[in-house]
Structure 1
């Protein structure tokens, strides 16, 4: 009889954990759907709140009125707002983002040609930021724990705040002036020079977030280094490298991962300005070009893609945090 008790209790524990995971999945999925609905609605309304006539801008001020009206009818812009919204939703379900007013090409095709350049730029910048921030934050935390090396601590804190507050595009301008125009080591703009073309825009995107992330890594690592389990590891006279990398670093990952996911989303969005500094053939330069020419369907589709990327990244961060610490995250969901 005594041996049967644990067996009987296990299904209840399993069902309890499964129920928590189910609630977590439903709630996170619900939040994602609501966010997507708000994003789609905002992207649709944006084209109608911006002043000016995109058809007139595309055809020119001298175009006959009947030609403008015919083009507006062809694009469905003379339909009631609700009808346009429902047609827009229907198009999204079919994978149709509309048609460019300027080029008459499908918006999805235009975005597809440039999406890879933007995503590769954002991911490389994020990887570089991690490669800089994590070792730097850990090294400073180890060097300055328990109040040691006050000058190093103050210099790191001040420097990371200053660097993290500089806009990405301004860093990009400085990098171009020094390494492209001044020294001539790297290409000024474009993507035609292969790997060398990535160096300056990736640096421009990565430097600021790396400084912010390094500061967070340092704070979290300093806290973990004073925890009981790290003190126990020191009492066992384990090697310092093992203590720092095996016992301390994994416990400092949670906050770093949370901020890192937010930084990745902001990096992708930050490509809008950086791409224009370096004439990068991505979504960022395209959206600015489309705003200037009032090609609102392209602007609408690009904003929607940026928003979806941000929402997906944030959702993946939530899932990753749950896998690392299911008790706290599932409980809060």
Structure 2
């Protein structure tokens, strides 16, 4: 995140002397992003398909157990289409994806799409709430710290803020989850430590997921806000004797948010992936706990389906971040040449 990123966003605040690209730039921008998204999605789908076939051993034998009869194993392989040529299996896999068919679980014999559909809402709720909490804490905190430490003031407060934010960002979600569960769940008994039953059950897992991203975003938000506060258009606003509230909220904050929201979107991808560990600590009935159970049971079709969902989610988030950045900073639509 550089000062140039913030300065490029200045036209959004109405800074004179900057040229904003016309709407005609959007079709080319949309085409580039669509092609990139489609290519990345194809790589993801192909890698997920090959994952099962590159794993040593027979997934059907592993799922049914060593005591299963050869006839049962052969029948199950034929049912799943694993005896077909690899290219034919790949085409069948692509056709199934187009119709929403992610395959069939080798353990429960349930459609993978049904398993994912039952667990996905819990994961989305957890990741979405953690993201909202991280933004709600980081943006005001970063803005306030920038205002308090502007111009080299309050060195002690800056040192404390930096040290604490670095420490919180460095703590792994798994370790933080265990610590929160032990202190606030086991010792104090304030919140439940397992399950998804009522608002109180969301508190600890959401905290475990949001603390690290909030610390990172607060630091970045402070740095970007300091850069914006030193820009010419902010000095002009101060020279006009505008109220401090208008200077920060109307002029400085929209420009500082460009880099902060961009990083926030990228952190959302990591946050979604982080649900895997947090869900297992708090026995959260989402995709994270399901994929670990499926790996232990060698239920590879379910693992494959969940990997696809996680990967597609990351790609969609990155696409939305690109679009949001282009809206906040229209000049970004032509920076790629």
TM-score normalised by L of structure 2 = 0.92
Alignment pair present for 1:260 and 2:264: yes
Q: Is the 8 A contact 2:325 2:332 kept in 1?
A: no
Structure 2 match to 1:28: 33
Any gaps of 5 or more consecutive residues in structure 1? Answer: 1-15
- Matched residues in 1 for 2:54 and 2:195: separation? 33
Structure 1 residue 274: deviation in Å?
0.5
Aligned counterpart, 1:216: 220
Aligned counterpart in structure 2 of residue 275 of structure 1, from 279, 292, 301: 279
User: Where does the alignment leave 5 or more consecutive residues of structure 2 unmatched?
Assistant: 1-20
Relative contact order (alpha carbons < 8 A, sep ≥ 6): 1 or 2 greater? 2
In structure 2, the residue matched to 1:53 is 58
Does 2:307 match 1:310?
A: no
The alpha carbon displacement at 1:166 in A equals 1.0
| CA distance in structure 1 between the aligned counterparts of 2:137 and 2:174, rounded to whole angstroms | 20
Report the Cα distance in structure 1 between the residues aligned to 2:248 and 2:178, rounded to whole angstroms.
38
The one-character-per-residue Cα deviations of 1:148-202 (angstroms, maximum 9, x if unpaired) are 111111111121112111111111110001000010000011012x100100000
Q: Is the 8 A contact 1:271 1:284 kept in 2?
A: yes
Give the superposition deviation at 1:324: 1.2
Give me the TM-score of the superposition, normalised by structure 1: 0.93
CA distance in structure 2 between the partners assigned to 1:51 and 1:133 by the alignment: 45
The structural deviation recorded for 1:19 is 4.0
Greater gyration radius: 1
Further displaced range: 261-270 or 323-332: 323-332
Task: Find the aligned partners of 2:64 and 2:142 in 1 and give their Cα distance.
Answer: 55
Q: Give RMSD over aligned pairs.
A: 1.2
Q: Which stretch of structure 1 is more off in the superposition, 148-157 or 124-133?
A: 148-157
Partner of 1:332, secondary structure, is coil
1:30-57 deviation per Cα after TM superposition (whole angstroms, max 9, x unaligned): 0000000000001111111222322112
Question: For this pair of structures, how many residues does the alignment match?
Answer: 317
Q: 1:248 aligns with which of 235, 238, 252?
A: 252
- Quote how far apart the aligned CAs of 1:18 are: 4.8
Q: Distance in 2 between matches of 1:19 and 1:135?
A: 35
